[in-house]
Amino acid sequence: MIWFFLKKNFCDGWDNLLFLALFNLIILGLCALAFFAVSSLAGISVPLSLCCALVFVCALCVPLFAVSGASKQLADFKSVTVKETFAAFLSVWKSAAAFGLLIAVLVFMAAVALPFYFSMGNLIGLLLGSVIFWVLVIAVLSLQWFMPLYSYFGGGIRKNIKKCFILFFDNTGFSIFMFVYACAIFALSAFLGFIAPGVSGVILAYNNALRLRMYKYDWLETQSGLSRKDARRRIPWDELLAEDKETLGPRDFKSFIFPWK
């Protein structure tokens, strides 16, 4: 499953490179605007600059959620237009803003609460700091699934947060792999100025990963005669991925350079 995921995600990213690059430029533009706005306000009023940063975090989540919705279509072997992606801003902004607030809370815990408790220099501080550290680790590894879950299944923020933690604890190893893979994609993007694959490429990867992972749950629902533990050991990935492999087809180097042939 892992090897097919890597192949499919690379092919989807390559085939939609310009689309991903466009939204990466938009995201980079928002980040640059946020940096200059927050930096300018920091010299005037720290609380005002923090409020400005919070607004930009929530605003930045809107195009991220819209790109996730588009990535869901791409992962499903469907096409999506730039116009449709921009139109999605209106339907996702509430959930995106709420998720942005949640991210801001986690950043506050990491930047303020964690150093505070570890700086206490006693056993209580060490204990509380350790608890917060592991809460943050689990939260990050779980919430990385939020956008693709929202894109595939919709629903409110509470419902999707619950799904995130269920998905993480049920797929801990794969979640850690995806986090490392996402970090690797983002790091490699630095050589191209984060224009490609960039943040949009990371979002596409998560949607591809979730799509393929859901095949496992569809199959498990049909295995009523097996215990949950035995069924998990017998997941026939080759069979479950057969249709997607056929749809993707064989891809050689020439097909990437001359996709019209």
Contact 144, 182 (CB under 8 A): yes
Percent of the chain with pLDDT over 90: 87
Task: Supply 26's token pair.
Answer: 């938009």
User: How many domains are there within the chain?
Assistant: 1
For residue 153, pLDDT beyond 60 = yes
Find the domain containing 84 and state its range: 2-257
Q: What is the mean pLDDT of residues 75-93?
A: 97
Reported as a single tens digit per residue, the pLDDT across 165-205 is: 999 999 999 999 999 999 999 999 999 999 999 999 999 99
What confidence score (pLDDT) does residue 43 get? 86
Residue 227, helix vs strand vs coil: coil
Decide: 181 and 116 in contact? Cβ < 8 Å: no
Confidence check: pLDDT of 238 > 60: yes
> Is residue 208 within 8 Å of residue 8, measured between CB atoms?
yes
The residue with tokens 């706005």 is 37
CA–CA separation, 36 and 42 (whole Å): 10
Would the pLDDT of 226 be above 80? no
Query: Residue 173: what pLDDT?
Result: 96
Taking residues 19-41, what's their average pLDDT?
96
